[in-house]
Amino acid sequence: HPAVDPNAAPVTLTIDGIEVTVPSGTTILAAAEAAGVRIPTLCHHADLAPAGVCRVCVVEVEGSRALQASCAYPITQPIKVNTTTKAVRKARRHIIDLMLANHYGDCYTCARNGNCELQALAQEYGVDGLKFGRTTEPKYEIDRSNGTIVRDMNKCVLCGRCVRTCNELQEVGCLTLDGRGAQSKVSTFADKALASVICISCGQCINRCPTGALSELDQTDEVWALLDDPSKHVVIQTAPAPRAA
Ligand code: FES
């Protein structure tokens, strides 16, 4: 959560009928945590500055016409927040559905299977991603070039957590968000393979990726790939055993 001055004027608000008092400037998401109310998130990460891009954390603020992203909404006056109205749940389902529609990958063979935030959200909201039609073809080539990190942008949900980790937290700066709208994608600068940019293989982007878009290179896969490729096999010549006299 963004740093808040603990001495800022206190504000009392209600979240799902629960009254909670927080310093002015606290986000609705942080206030909800303090009140023991869980709001689902995706682009939010405790280590990173809020981005407010995925909209999974939307809530209703009474008196406001549009739903608000709770992770990026600082409280400055007493408000009433509802986190589970029909409109809120419908909006979240819609958002998760759209993400799944754009997500190409097989959960069963994914390194993140069982530990994927998108998968968990889809299960929680009963969304199968069929409403908008699942992507059936990969758009991007998988980048295994750097020998440690695998980048599969077909599974990316554009939350930007890796970009913020690489730039703000690690101060390496080899990832960026490129393009607009449907063409948006996380890329290395000039869209080069990871091995050709200044990535230091710290792996912190993997830790913060909510899906399998970034994962550790599975060395076992590499060994199997070598075994499957006869051109890489080394033939060891052994001398024939001497014949018995
Ligand atoms: Fe709030 Fe993504 S978690 S907008």
What's the pLDDT at 224?
66
Q: Is 41 in the pocket of ligand 1 (CB under 6 A)?
A: yes
| Beta carbons of 112 and 126 less than 8 angstroms apart | no
DSSP E strands in the chain: the ranges are 10-15, 18-23, 58-61, 68-69, 80-82, 149-151, 175-178, 185-188, 214-216
CATH code of 122's domain: 3.30.70.20
Identify whether 5 is part of a domain. no
Residues 174-191 have pLDDT tens digits of: 999 998 887 889 999 888
Q: How confident is the model at residue 135 (pLDDT cuts 50, 70, 90)?
A: confident
Residues 109 and 14 in one domain: no
pTM of model > 0.80: yes
Read off the pLDDT of each residue in 66-70 and give the average, rounded to a whole number.
97
Give the residue from 84, 108, 131 where a domain finishes. 84
Whole-angstrom CA distances from 46 to 3, 91, 180 are 11, 23, 26
Residues 15 and 109 in one domain: no
What's the pLDDT at 221?
66
- Which of the 8 DSSP states describes residue 33? H
Mean pLDDT computed over every residue of the chain = 91
What's the pLDDT at 82?
98
Nearest atom in ligand 1 to the alpha carbon of residue 29 is 1
Residues 123 and 210 in one domain: yes
What's the pLDDT at 130?
76
Q: In this predicted structure, which of 16-30, 36-50, 83-97, 229-243 has the lowest mean pLDDT?
A: 229-243
Q: Under the phi-then-psi rule, with left for phi > 0, alpha for psi from -120 to 50, and beta for the rest, what region is 201?
A: left
Residues 152 and 202 in one domain: yes
Q: Compute how many other C-beta atoms are within 10 angstroms of the C-beta atom of residue 79.
A: 19
Look-up of token digits 């023991």: 36
Centroid of ligand 1 to alpha carbon of 34 (angstroms):
18
CA separation for the pair 88, 68 (Å, rounded): 10
Q: How confident is the model at residue 245 (pLDDT cuts 50, 70, 90)?
A: low
Q: Is 205 in the pocket of ligand 1 (CB under 6 A)?
A: no
Residues 19 and 41 in one domain: yes
Residues 146 and 108 in one domain: yes
What's the pLDDT at 190?
81
Residues 118 and 156 in one domain: yes
Burial class (CB in 10 A: 0-12, 13-18, 19+), 17: exposed
Q: How confident is the model at residue 215 (pLDDT cuts 50, 70, 90)?
A: very high
| Beta carbons of 118 and 211 less than 8 angstroms apart | yes
What is the number of domains present in the chain? 2
Centroid of ligand 1 to alpha carbon of 132 (angstroms):
21
Nearest atom in ligand 1 to the alpha carbon of residue 41 is 3
Q: Is 55 in the pocket of ligand 1 (CB under 6 A)?
A: yes
Test site for ligand 1: of 41, 61, 121, 208, most ligand atoms within 8 A of the Cβ: 41
Centroid of ligand 1 to alpha carbon of 82 (angstroms):
16
Structural domain boundaries, residue 16:
10-84
CATH code of 46's domain: 3.10.20.740
Residues 25 and 117 in one domain: no
Q: Is the pLDDT of residue 13 over 90?
A: yes
Centroid of ligand 1 to alpha carbon of 14 (angstroms):
20
Read off the pLDDT of each residue in 32-51 and give the average, rounded to a whole number.
96
CA separation for the pair 95, 138 (Å, rounded): 21
Q: Is 164 in the pocket of ligand 1 (CB under 6 A)?
A: no
Q: Is 67 in the pocket of ligand 1 (CB under 6 A)?
A: no
Q: Is 111 in the pocket of ligand 1 (CB under 6 A)?
A: no
CA angle (118, 124, 128) in 5-degree steps = 65
Contacts of 205 by beta carbon, 8 Å cutoff, 6+ apart: 149, 161, 162, 165, 166, 175, 214
Centroid of ligand 1 to alpha carbon of 158 (angstroms):
11
Q: Is 69 in the pocket of ligand 1 (CB under 6 A)?
A: yes
CA separation for the pair 130, 180 (Å, rounded): 24
